[in-house]
Amino acid sequence: MDSPSRSGVFDAAADNRVASFTESISFDARLYSHDILGSIAHAKMLQEIGILTADEAVAIETTLLEIKTKIEAGDFQTNIALEDIHMHIEALLIDELGDVGRKLHTGRSRNDQVSTDFRLWVRTALDNVDQLLLNLQQSFVNRCHDDHDVILPGYTHLQRAQPVLASHYWLAYCEKLQRDRQRIADCRKRVNVSSLGVAAVAGTSIPINRDTTAELLGFDGVAANSLDVSSDRDFVLESAFVLSTIAIHLSGWAEEWILWKTAEFDFIDLPHEFCTGSSIMPQKINPDVLELIRGKTGRVVGSLQTLLMILKGLPLAYNRDLQEDKPALFDAFDAITACLNIAAPLVAGASLNREKIAASLDKGFLDATTLMEYLILRGTPQRTAHHLIGSLVAVATEQNVALKDLPLEEFQKLDADLDEDVYGVLGVQNAIAAFTSFGSTAPDQVAAQITAWKERLGL
């Protein structure tokens, strides 16, 4: 069967190799429900303007819903000659309704039909990812209660820097994920604009009502320029960027926990149902899930790169290159969805090795900055205090002791007026207690943030 898009102007059927090369049904079949949704809205609008009778509109809607049921039941065969899901559904409709089915495409083109379907799909997919991000945030916040008394070494340059509460660490990822959710919400605004009814490129002389279809489909408004929106894929690019940022955040978290799981760190135990073994080494408990989350970031970011190259240099308006946007974005959404589905239960099921962490906290002089600030509050200039504490760290390193284990006379070499009070800021517990600034790891600040996050996330 020739493609219905080949009109009488052609004097030959499409070469079979062309049909195989140009088909998209192999990947765009997943748009079926959105295509049917858009077509039902379009039929209702055509009834409103008198192109369809009420009976015809009802017949179209009923038949489209029957087609949807058949597809979902697996009673659906594809034919590459029909190219895409849109033509497959239309062909089934025409088989059932004849000329009534042929009226449905009035006032629209596959260009705006594809754009509309894809926007509907992306809107749903963004909402799903947002919910999964919320689930992951909730998993992190739920850890805060059980881990409230755990102090972790905070790192910069992967070198020990200052002590932080474990709950402060969990909330750091909530912040990252919240920015991801904000980007989703912002992206969704530009996704949720109707392109239906702009037809191929210039609009239509049929007196359609685009506001009607936009309202029926839950769009916030209609695109104002037919030439632009018939080829606009900014919403695809933006979605891919949002997903890439999420992937990078997940990859950074996965990398940290992979390190923490090593014998060298031994900070965390992962739930065994989210680990794998070795085919030859019986002792191995491998963090393969985290490694795959890290690895899938390449696919997601690669999808963004693919989309950028597809769109680079395209003239107005629609070009067939745009067919290639779907595999890239579908893959990015699939990868992120898979990662987020497994991330939340993994976070919930992991446990910190408290004794191992506590035993390691004297390493790295995590209280050195607090000691420096103690001198500053006593009137020592910051640069001077920085130099003095650096020299004291050198002494402690040479003696292989923590700062809190140095005798008072070593501190008095820095400032003769120092007394036993100096030990009140030494050690990780005292260092944590010394923090005061908003957004810091100070216990009262963290407690307030936990409360705020619980309210925000409905916990």
Residues known to be catalytic: 157, 278
What the block records as the tokens of 90 is 């239309």
Bridging pattern class, strands 159-165 and 193-194: unpaired
Rounded CA separation 43/245 (Å): 39
Q: Is 346 exposed, middle or buried (0-12, 13-18, 19+ CB in 10 A)?
A: buried
Q: Which of 39, 104, 43, 31 is nearest to 71 (CA)?
A: 31
Sign of the alpha-carbon dihedral angle for 244, 245, 247, 251: positive
Q: For residue 259, how many other CB atoms are within 10 A of its CB?
A: 16
Q: Which of 232, 240, 134, 151 is nearest to 453 (CA)?
A: 134
Phi (first) and psi of residue 163, to 5 degrees: -75, 145
200's CB contacts (< 8 A; 6+ apart) are 109, 111, 112, 230, 318
Q: How far is CA 269 from CA 253, 287, 446, in A?
A: 15, 10, 24
Q: How far is CA 368 from CA 206, 321, 327, in A?
A: 75, 58, 52
Q: How far is CA 138 from CA 24, 176, 346, in A?
A: 39, 13, 12
Q: Which of 66, 60, 56 is nearest to 32 (CA)?
A: 66
Phi (first) and psi of residue 43, to 5 degrees: -65, -40
Axis-axis angle for helices 325-349, 234-261 (nearest 10): 30
Task: Decide if 301 contacts 336 (C-beta within 8 A).
Answer: no
Q: Is 166 exposed, middle or buried (0-12, 13-18, 19+ CB in 10 A)?
A: buried
Give the 3-state secondary structure of residue 402: coil
Rounded CA separation 125/136 (Å): 17
